[in-house]
A and B are shown apart, each in its own frame.
Chain A
Amino acid sequence: MINTLFESWPVLWPALAAIGVILAVVPFLGLYMTFVERKIAAYVQDRVGPNRVGPFGLFQAIADGIKIFLKEQLIPDHVFTALYFLAPAFSLITAMFALVVMPFGPVATDYKDGFRFVVAPGIDIGILMMLAISSLSAYGIIIGGWASNNKYSIYGAIRSCAQFISYEIPLGLSILGVIAITGSLNIEKIVEAQSGSLLDWNVFWQPVAMLVFFTAALAETNRLPFDLPECEQELVGGFHTEYSGIKFVLYFLAEYTHIVTVSFLTALLFLGGWHFPGLPGPSGASTPILLLGLGVLLAKVALVVLVIILLRWSLPRFRFDQLMGLAWKGLIPLGLVNLVGVAIVLSLGLPKHLLIATVILPVLAAYYSAAKFNASMATTDAMRQGLSPQGAVSYE
């Protein structure tokens, strides 16, 4: 046993080091994303935001963390205790577990020994596993809602369940095109395929796929405008109504870990990952080049995070039927037609950049939906004026 450990040490230590990095950085990142979000929220609303603890309020996040650790552990009498404790932990575990195959820095596809910016390099079902694991976090929410034994919590959990099921489909559909052309589920290989010029980034030939992916992923993170599982006006706090103290923080961390995951996935799958025009790839590169690649990737991720945070303060929340309608009547057809386009291009052997023409899809969809809406409004108007056009049903 000990011998095996020693023999496998050269393979083992890079993985352990990467796990250490993720375990150290992700909670810290989650903590500081709350600070960044509060600051940006304040600026958007012409306020100042937290500025009392430390320079520019930088230690506010740490103060919040200390406060919440020292809080009383309140456990209501009416909860199912075992599930009540399990749910937040499950939520965070699944959110963190999805990071196992996610490269957080440049990774060469030759997979030499030594430290790499990924826990498990070269997993051939990488992206599939990531989607599978991160969608398990629905369990954390549903178990939490059930264990709370509270109608608002269970309503939030049910909504969350429906939302997850609906948005898993466009999420998968949108990256199928990328996977089909790359010919691999391996995330590093998908990024590798985007090396070269700027136009090789997936966003430039799969813009609709990126739009669908980003929207669906935003819905998976349960954030505004898709935060129906926890919308305060209707459900108090939704699934985390009964949670407080450190258990609430676990949910919170899971949500922010999800945002980090989604941002990384958007950057890796569509924005070229660690590639930037003029920057050499990671295979056989020196340490400064690798760090530069890391910086490029983190900058892209930061950009996506910024957009996610800003979206929260620009868009109102969806109604539940609108939420479902967007997934089933908007994103899924878009994703499917986009996939058909990819299939045609692949089977005829056409250059993949022809797929930029898919931007016409949302425009067509908008034209159809506008025409349909206007026709229905015209019918309503006519009925109200007693003109009763052909086929219209009278109110009487």
Chain B
Amino acid sequence: MSDPKKNDPQKNEAQMNKPSAKKSVKWGEAPKMSILDALYLPAIASGLATAVRHAVSGKATTRQYPEAEPEIPPNYRGVHRLNRDEAGRVKCVACYMCQTACPANCIEIIAAPAPKDDPHWKDRDKFPATFTIDELRCIYCGMCEEACPVDAIELTSIYDLTGMTREEMIFDKEKLLSVFDETVKSGQDPVRTNRGNLGPAAELSPTAKDAPPPPGRGKSG
């Protein structure tokens, strides 16, 4: 009863089989502490030197935001715009594809039959009477842009969207068209993300058909 550990053969065997008892196990050694390490002062001095070196280097990486604006990549997904065709009409054919694709339910379209007697609209069946996007609800995923068969809705690289009320953040058709005009004027055209062919609605439009294809898309587009 003096020492059960020593008298128990099973326990001894278990102890012998421990990985620590095997000579094949290679053990790393803790690094030795030198006098300089134990004195701490050299480490403090080198820490201070690092701090001073950074302080006097003058290599601040801060961007002075309102004065210096960031470079936004052209495929950035910012505020939406509604494109116009060459005739200046809204490109949208009110097919509801974007509204269906939208995971945030932020697009609301009310379609109306195109005025057939107007020669200006004779190649269209439908057009959006209203087209509103709730910019606060939008998650800027870009799925509306991918769903659009006629490249009517696009996300621009405008990132600094602000407003004083929730109401003014709900963009209607005129507002979205004015975003198009603005971005065209300031040369901020987004890159086209629709990789496939455009839908038949776009094919029907003579203006869209005759226009030179945008860069990055085949003649069939």
Contacts and interface: CB of A to CB of B under 8 A. Distances in A.
Interface of A: 40, 42-48, 307, 310-311, 313-315, 362-363, 365-367, 369-370, 373-374, 377, 380-381, 384-386, 396
A392 to B, nearest CB: 13
Contact of A311 (B21, B35, B48, B60): B48
Nearest to A364: B35
A94 to B, nearest CB: 30
Interface of B: 5, 15, 18, 20-21, 25, 27, 29-30, 32-41, 44, 47-48, 50-52, 54-62, 64
Contacts of A385: 20, 25, 27
Nearest to A307: B48
Given A315-B44, A362-B41, A366-B35, A44 B30 contact: no
A370 B47 contact: no
Given A314-B51, A374-B33, A377-B30, 20 more contacts: A40-B55, A43-B58, A45-B54, A46-B57, A307-B48, A310-B48, A314-B47, A314-B48, A362-B39, A366-B35, A366-B38, A366-B39, A367-B38, A369-B33, A370-B32, A381-B30, A384-B20, A386-B18, A386-B21, A396-B5
Contact of A369 (B27, B32, B38): B38
Nearest to B28: A381
Nearest to B44: A315
Contact of A310 (B35, B52, B58): B52
26 contacts: A43-B54, A43-B56, A43-B58, A44-B55, A45-B54, A46-B57, A46-B60, A47-B60, A310-B48, A310-B51, A310-B55, A311-B44, A311-B48, A313-B51, A314-B51, A365-B38, A366-B35, A366-B36, A373-B38, A374-B32, A377-B30, A377-B32, A377-B33, A381-B29, A381-B30, A386-B18
B60 A384 contact: no
B60 to A, nearest CB: 5
B20 to A, nearest CB: 5
Nearest to A315: B47
Contacts of A381: 27, 29-30
Nearest to B66: A52
B17 to A, nearest CB: 11
Nearest to A382: B27
B46 to A, nearest CB: 9
Nearest to A313: B51
Which has the most chain B C-beta neighbours within 10 Å: A366, A377, A381?
A366
Contacts of B33: 369-370, 373-374, 377
Main secondary structure of the interface of B (DSSP, over half): helix
Which has the most chain A C-beta neighbours within 10 Å: B5, B60, B61?
B60
A31 B132 CA distance: 51
Please name the 3 residue pairs, one residue from A and one from B, whose CB atoms are nearest each other, closest first. A314-B47, A370-B38, A366-B39
Contacts of B20: 384-386
A46 B53 CA distance: 10
Contacts of B15: 396
Contacts of A311: 44, 48
A63 B53 CA distance: 30
A153 B69 CA distance: 44
A221 B25 CA distance: 50
A363 B29 contact: no
B152 to A, nearest CB: 42
Contacts of B48: 307, 310-311, 314
B49 to A, nearest CB: 8
Contacts of A366: 35-36, 38-40
A307 B47 CA distance: 12
A374 B37 CA distance: 12
Contact of B39 (A47, A313, A363, A374): A363
A369 B61 CA distance: 42
A211 B12 CA distance: 54
Nearest to A374: B32
Which has the most chain A C-beta neighbours within 10 Å: B30, B41, B64?
B30
Contacts of A48: 60, 62, 64
Contacts of A367: 35, 38
Nearest to A367: B35
Nearest to B22: A386
A314 B57 contact: no
B55 A43 contact: yes
A363 B57 CA distance: 33
Which has the most chain B C-beta neighbours within 10 Å: A313, A314, A365?
A314
A333 B62 CA distance: 47
A209 to B, nearest CB: 15
Nearest to A312: B51
A47 B32 CA distance: 37
A46 to B, nearest CB: 5
Contacts of B47: 314-315
